Chain A
């Protein structure tokens, strides 16, 4: 039984804060995966947490609270996505994948697992220029052309380095996934 869930159920605000602090950022990322809009994702995630708190009496401590949280967030995001007008080709793609074909369960989500440390390690391992390109894109939010300008390299090189970075991260993740699989196999119950 999940002690934290029991405490939240009984109205322990400290336990709830702990829960919030642990999952707020991953949940924002998870929500943003459907909406591709950080502001909206943030709003939805806050609403989800408020909903969990307000309905805390209905929490079932024998069911993982985290999976429950991600499930509610997924429903809320998909509702939001559904209501979105197709203003851009981008929204069209998200709708195509997530609304037209509902094939994705929370259990498959990497974001619902705790991968952050692995990601940090993986990024740390990237070769220098590759890392620089990746960070300019993901942290500073620069466009490929801007990165090319800053680093005085061609757009083609930027693209190659980005691919390289993502390939390496994918590889790290796949190792992690294999590890999970082994754990599951060793502890079937």
Chain B
């Protein structure tokens, strides 16, 4: 076992000049000896990994490498969003105590929740991708909150006034109360109503804010513009970038049927369809070929799985797609399912065996 000692002294940096000559001739003598050296070397390195030597810092290594490949900023943002989400869920859970994470529609339907509030504390209700909520306010006004949306109101809602703040999408069935108007506030648009049914869409990641009136009357005010009154069957769309306002007649159920778990598209641009699917099914969708953006869809999906929806879209338009299932990253991290969409003639070849 003299050689073993020599190897240990070598790796520990304790070997003498004389011993190193002995080690050298021992290594030259037999390939088996060199394999022993290699194994001992691996063991030595392996134990260093366990101790995670200071010099191998994965985080800083990743930031330096992601800078070099031009991915730095993007990536940080993703992580930030994830942690904010977690935080938001906690907040909402604390203030409402229930109501969230209503995974599927059947659950959602089965969990109509009402609650009374005593204190004047603000209430926040939040939904994630893939979830919806049904809220019954103190005055019997019903709110259907779509995925990835947030509804806020003060604890004294209904006592002096009826004001809620929305980001995302919601359908309101406002109970009639002649004394107090009902108001939905969004970033750019306020909607005032008495007893009505209407839908408001105001997602941060969409350029437009949209109010669709099903019944009754609403008044829409946009900063710096005259108030607009619309009739049932009409829709107001405000494009934030160009500050353009469009009032048009629409089939309202195209815009409100999401609350019955239907997805309706009516000559809807491709990108918007994909954003809808992404929110509804909690998947990341990547459009690989920008030429597809000119496509438009008219379709209704009722309770279909995302696989079926994609199959149907593929059947009626020149697209191909690939679904990647939820992947576990490490112990507690997961990548969302992802769908990459390409145009059919430029499908991606994945079987191209070639080494770098």
Contact = CB atoms under 8 A, between A and B. Distances in A.
A34 B342 CA distance: 44
A189 interface: no
A144 B68 contact: no
Measured as residues with beta carbon below 8 angstroms from the partner, the interface class of chain B is: 35 or more
Given A55-B356, A60-B355, A32 B338 contact: no
Contacts of B17: 89
A38 B53 contact: yes
Contacts of B23: 93
Interface in A140-156: 143-144
Interface stretch (A20-28, A78-86, A178-186): A20-28
A38 B65 contact: no
B43 A10 contact: no
B355 A101 contact: no
B51 A25 contact: no
Contacts of B325: 3
A114 B136 CA distance: 53
B42 to A, nearest CB: 5
B338 to A, nearest CB: 7
A28 B50 CA distance: 12
A119 B337 CA distance: 34
A111 B37 contact: no
B58 A13 contact: no
Interface in B42-74: 42-53, 55-56, 58, 61-62, 64-66, 68-69, 71, 74
Contacts of B4: 163
Interface string B331-356: 00001001010000000101111111
Contacts of B53: 38, 139
A38 to B, nearest CB: 4
Given A21-B62, A39-B55, A50-B65, A96 B43 contact: no
A54 B71 CA distance: 12
Contacts of A166: 8, 40, 43
A120 interface: yes
Interface stretch (B24-32, B95-103, B209-217, B290-298): B24-32
Interface in A83-107: 89-90, 92-93, 96-97, 101, 103-104
Given A12-B338, A25-B58, A58 B45 contact: no
A162 to B, nearest CB: 6
A180 to B, nearest CB: 14
A143 to B, nearest CB: 7
Given A3-B327, A119-B47, A169-B47, A93 B356 contact: no
Contacts of B307: none
B106 interface: no
Contact of B38 (A26, A38, A104, A134): A104
Nearest to A28: B56
B66 A17 contact: yes
Given A7-B338, A24-B61, A28-B56, A115 B329 contact: no
B42 A110 contact: yes
A92 B24 contact: yes
A53 B69 contact: yes
Contacts of B71: 13, 16-17
Contacts of B64: 46
B34 interface: yes
A119 to B, nearest CB: 4
B62 A14 contact: no
A93 B33 CA distance: 13
Interface in B161-177: none
B78 interface: yes
A96 B45 CA distance: 19
B50 A110 contact: no
A118 to B, nearest CB: 9
Given A3-B325, A13-B74, A46 B65 contact: yes
B41 interface: yes
A175 interface: no
B157 to A, nearest CB: 40
A114 to B, nearest CB: 11
Given A25-B49, A45-B61, A46-B68, 19 more contacts: A3-B327, A14-B75, A15-B327, A17-B66, A17-B71, A21-B330, A24-B56, A24-B62, A33-B41, A42-B55, A42-B61, A46-B64, A50-B68, A92-B24, A108-B38, A110-B43, A123-B50, A138-B47, A169-B47
8 contacts: A20-B65, A32-B48, A58-B355, A60-B353, A110-B46, A111-B45, A119-B46, A173-B46
* Nearest 3 interchain pairs by C-beta: A29-B45, A60-B353, A55-B356
